[in-house]
Amino acid sequence: MAGKLAGKVAIVTGASRGIGAGIAKRLAAEGARVGLVARTVEEGDSRLPGSLNEVAAWIRAHGGECVCIAADLSSEEDRKRIVPQTVAAFGGVDVLVNNAAWGRYVPAHQQDMRNLRLAWEINVVTPLDLTQQCLETMKARGGGWVVNLSSATADLPHPAPYDFNERYIGFNLKMGPTVYGSTKAALQRLTAGLAVELAPYNIAVNTLAPVEAVASEGAVELGVIDAVAHYEPLEAMAEAALALSTRPASELSGRIMLSLELLRELGMNGVMSLDGLAALPDYSF
């Protein structure tokens, strides 16, 4: 396939559904050969809809190439298979999208320690581990791009005195995103530091988050979106991830970006469909 990523190879974690599936499809539509990573390979392996095989079928039907890699990202042994399998299939890696995340929305003072460790393992340790594993092949190919997916939950609540009727304070009281948000804040700091460290190798590292909410299967299941949230289509996140996977590292690296703000900054007036063939109808920002 011809496109902005023709000849490139990407890895996308959490690619069985939601934002990860959208990003994988968008990168493939621009010519990338994609390593699709998730636990859910077949439909029915999870209570949530979506599977790697479904995403792979879409990519292949649109003329793209991909490989499905079943992995539990909390397992170091599983993580060690992802880059080698992608390299074996396609010869290297140019783009790493760390999309997969995990968390339990419970107040931090009530958080189970096992869940605490699991959130940090998947949301912070895994992106660093996979980035380290990709370095050799990215350096050999002259550079690369790492896109880490973050969240608005990384934003700090305003300090006391508290207005308990204020929406974000109420969200913290009701949903308890403190632990999950803390992992995403750590990921953002990790991103900024890695961007400096990897600049000599022409490797861009950026963090991307939706402006507020994308109604993905996981977000709906967890109940972490509400009636007054600003929704954006997952296509906007996919378009922003594509931008962060194609711009020179010397120009765009070390950024903690919101999707729509990035698209505005780059002068993009609309969002493309996942196949890249048309502007998304009835959506403007």
Name 237's Cβ contacts closer than 8 Å, sequence gap at least 6: 19, 22, 23, 208, 210, 214, 259
C-beta of residue 128 within 8 angstroms of C-beta of residue 99:
no
**Is it the case that residue 51 has pLDDT exceeding 70?**
yes
Backbone phi, psi, residue 174, to 5° = -80, -45
Range scoring the smallest mean pLDDT among 43-57, 125-139, 238-252, 260-274? 43-57
Residue range 29-38, pLDDT digits in tens: 999 999 999 9
Model confidence at 213, pLDDT cuts 50, 70, 90, reads low
Residue range 269-285, pLDDT digits in tens: 789 999 999 998 877 76
Identify the pLDDT of residue 226.
Answer: 52
The radius of gyration of the chain from alpha carbons, rounded to an integer in Å, stands at 18
Give the separation between CA 120 and CA 183, rounded to whole angstroms: 6
Q: b/e string for 265-279 if b means 16 or more Cβ within 10 A?
A: eeebeebbbbbbeee
* β-strand pairing of 95-98 with 9-13: parallel
Predicted model pTM: 0.92
Give the separation between CA 1 and CA 30, rounded to whole angstroms: 7
User: pLDDT: is 285 or 204 the higher one?
Assistant: 204
> Rounded to an integer, what is the distance from CA 3 to the centroid of its chain?
21
**Domains with residue ranges and CATH for the chain:** 9-265 (3.40.50.720)
Residues classed as catalytic: 180
